[in-house]
Amino acid sequence: MEFFLLLLTSGIAVGGVYALIALGFVLIYKATSIINFATGEFMMIGAYIFYTCSVLVGMPAIPSFIVVMAGAGLLGLLVERTILRHMLGQPTISIVMVTIGLSSILTGVAEMIWTSDFKSFPPLFPRAPIIVGDLIIRSNLFWGFVVAMTTVAIFALIFKYAKVGVAMRATAGDQMASFSMGINVRSMFTLAWIFGAIAASIGGLIIGNIGGVQPNLGGIGLKIFPVVILGGLDSIGGAVLGGFIVGIVENLAGGYLDPLVGGGAKNVAPFVVLVLILMVRPYGLFGRKEIERL
């Protein structure tokens, strides 16, 4: 039972970080209906920016964190203004291919700037493990979960109560109606990319603190994709629930099934759960059902 609870709590902690990275997908999709396959690379760039500030430059953690958010926001702005804005009205598959190409470009740029060598972060959180009863939780997992959930809550509050968040929600619901009401739809697109890049980059900072950073870290973006699909592409709450489901399933499969089958179950299990849920709920747990008339 203790082993099960340890796997469960670790899965919840990891799932919270997955939810934050999935939020990077959701924020962009909600406003623009674009699936950004470069989200993992945004995450990786954010981790490298923090490494540069904290290790190479020697800045304290909080200023480094602020630089990460500013750099991520600038990256999202540049991508939307210089690339995606010119793709408005183009077929969806063309935009998807552009984001896939962008992921390769960002990976190559990261290798040129920081090389392909593994980089480790200085400790961001207290080293002492968190003890809850008989359970011992790694401090970087626990505090990473706290930071991730705090960030998700902030974005959720912005979307629900802030004027700009309401405008972004309106844009996501009906772009033409939003435009007729005086909302600058293009500015909402830009903000969506900025927010999505910031969310992914903070997730990258947490992942980098747990396991270090190297250019292929962006590959975790595809690993997060089941989280996004499970919850529904346009649901913040769905991203959180999907993150918890994937994190828990992944940990339980790794703890119980990997020793029996020789490994690999941990990576496959989330996709099995994804297929089973989509057979019942094709639009995800909280996704918006769309009806197309032919």
Q: What is the pLDDT of residues 197-212, one digit of tens each?
A: 999 999 988 888 888 8
Question: Is position 79 within any domain?
Answer: yes
Question: Is position 31 within any domain?
Answer: yes
Domain holding 186, by residue range, is 17-125+132-218
Is 68's pLDDT higher than 90?
Answer: yes
- pLDDT grade for 288, boundaries at 50, 70 and 90: low
What's the mean pLDDT in 46-69? 92
Cβ 179 vs Cβ 1: under 8 Å:
no
Q: According to the model, what pLDDT value does residue 294 have? A: 36
Does residue 141 or residue 1 have the better pLDDT?
141
Q: According to the model, what pLDDT value does residue 108 have? A: 92
What CA–CA distance (Å, rounded) separates 15 from 11? 6
Q: What is the mean pLDDT of the chain?
A: 85
Question: Is position 261 within any domain?
Answer: no
What CA–CA distance (Å, rounded) separates 71 from 93? 28
Q: Which amino acid is at 283?
A: Y
Does residue 137 or residue 56 have the better pLDDT?
56
Portion of the chain with pLDDT greater than 90, in percent? 22
- The tens digit of pLDDT for each residue in 145-163 reads 999 999 999 988 888 888 8
Q: Which amino acid is at 70?
A: A
Question: Is position 181 within any domain?
Answer: yes
What CA–CA distance (Å, rounded) separates 83 from 87? 7
Instruction: Look at 140-149, 251-260, 282-291 and tell me which has the smallest mean pLDDT.
Output: 282-291
H or E segment to which residue 218 belongs: none
Q: Is the pTM of this model over 0.75?
A: yes
Report how far apart, in Å, the C-alpha atoms of 225 and of each of 35, 38, 50, 131, 148 are.
10, 11, 24, 32, 17
111 three-state secondary structure: helix
Q: According to the model, what pLDDT value does residue 1 have? A: 72
User: Looking at the chain, how many residues does it have?
Assistant: 294
Is 67's pLDDT higher than 90?
Answer: yes
Cβ 225 vs Cβ 47: under 8 Å:
no
119 three-state secondary structure: strand
Cβ 154 vs Cβ 248: under 8 Å:
no
Question: Phi and psi for 159 in degrees, rounded to 5?
Answer: -65, -35
- The tens digit of pLDDT for each residue in 164-178 reads 888 887 777 777 777
Report how far apart, in Å, the C-alpha atoms of 55 and of each of 48, 64, 119, 124, 161 are.
10, 10, 10, 12, 37
What CA–CA distance (Å, rounded) separates 170 from 227? 24
Question: Is position 91 within any domain?
Answer: yes
Alpha carbon 130 to chain centroid, angstroms: 25
Question: Is position 51 within any domain?
Answer: yes
Question: Is position 235 within any domain?
Answer: no
What CA–CA distance (Å, rounded) separates 290 from 267? 30
Cβ 29 vs Cβ 234: under 8 Å:
yes
- pLDDT grade for 286, boundaries at 50, 70 and 90: confident
Q: Which letter does DSSP use for residue 90 in this model?
A: S
Alpha carbon 84 to chain centroid, angstroms: 19
- State the total domains in the chain: 1
Question: Is position 9 within any domain?
Answer: no
Cβ 192 vs Cβ 168: under 8 Å:
yes
